[in-house]
Amino acid sequence: MTISMYSMTVPFYAGMLTNLAHVLTKAEAWATERKIDPTVLLNDRLAPDMLTMKRQVQIATDHAKSAAARLGGVENPSFPDTEETFAELHARIAKVRDFVLSVPQAGFDGAEDRNITIKVGPQEMTFPGGQYLQGYSFPNFYFHMTTAYAILRHNGVPLGKGDFFGRG
Amino acid sequence: MTISMYSMTVPFYAGMLTNLAHVLTKAEAWATERKIDPTVLLNDRLAPDMLTMKRQVQIATDHAKSAAARLGGVENPSFPDTEETFAELHARIAKVRDFVLSVPQAGFDGAEDRNITIKVGPQEMTFPGGQYLQGYSFPNFYFHMTTAYAILRHNGVPLGKGDFFGRG
């Protein structure tokens, strides 16, 4: 009746980051083919008060990185949000993926009950690791990854759900 | 190092369905206030070959319902996709939420290793319950819930991430 915190975090996020990179590869190839300035896609948003596509990618990767660090009990590295090109976003995804995969499995022992404290704006939130993963990390990750995908789809990039799920 | 399949499924989906209903309530109230025909929001999509907002809601609820049924070992009820109004979508969400909460906890014993077979188009996919939940059910649910939210945001509905997360 249980499932391992390690398997829910490390292989899962590593796989989804691969899918995210795949989505960006298709988007860039489409832009190149259509002679569309890639910064149009990188900086588009669905509403004036929503974040840009590149920010969605940065935040999604941050949630993957932070989950692996916090649940695996290692230092959470900070990656500045400086990416301005598809190549730079790819480098960030690869760096985060390498980091996620580097976190030792043993560190996840007891992670489901260990308290995790995070800052959300000015507030601190504390919850057991299991709840953090499912109730905070996953929804945030998917929220931003899906929004990045939705921005690209809205621009006409020929993506399908299979690309999102790694079957594209 | 583990987390319960029941808690990952039933209370989780019940909570997210409440959030989804809350997002729709705000969208309808905004449309009423601005004298916008609610069917505009219900039938909008982000690209011509993407599904409408109401379909995103129908599919999201289906993933919640199916996860509870399959992992809890009970019959998976079929709900026809006939909703055309906000009120009807609310009724569907409530029906699915009631169903999810009705699935007995005991049925989730061993669910993480029990094989689940689903049909995706013409193909059958079989995976252990834990993998089904994390690798299929969650991503699909979030994919459609986030897309419904993104369509509403794109139309100007004043929503924030807190609404999506039940803090709105």
Residues A138 and B138 sit within 8 Å (Cβ to Cβ): yes
H or E segment at A149?
helix A138-154
Q: Are the beta carbons of B1 and A3 separated by less than 8 Å?
A: no
- The string of pLDDT tens digits covering residues B66-115 is 999 999 999 999 999 999 999 999 999 999 999 999 999 999 999 999 99
Report the gap between the CA of B157 and the closest CA in chain A (Å): 10
Angle at CA of residue B128, ends B125 and B134, nearest 5° = 90
Q: Which tokens is A100 given?
A: 């996620």
pLDDT digit string (tens) for A10-47? 999 999 999 999 999 999 999 999 999 999 999 999 99
Chain A residues closer than 8 Å to B109 by CB: 1
Q: Which residues of B touch A147 (CB under 8 A)?
A: 146, 150
Nearest residue of B to residue A46 by CA position?
B154
Asked if B142 and B135 touch (Cβ cutoff 8 Å), the reply is no
State pTM to two decimals: 0.95
ipTM of predicted complex: 0.94
Q: Which domain holds residue A90?
A: 5-164
Spatial distance between the Cα atoms of A148 and A70, rounded to a whole number of angstroms: 25
CA distance A13 to B161: 21
Residues of A in contact with B8 (CB under 8 A): 3, 134
Q: What is the CATH number of the domain that holds A74?
A: 1.20.120.450
Which residue on chain A is closest to B136 by alpha carbon? A165
For residue B128, the tally of other CB atoms under 10 A from its CB is 15
Give me the residue label for tokens 């079957």.
A167
Count of structural domains within chain B: 1
Residue among A94, A105, A115 at smallest CA distance from A8: A105
- Of the partner residues A3, A110, A142, the one whose CB lies closest to the CB of residue B146: A142
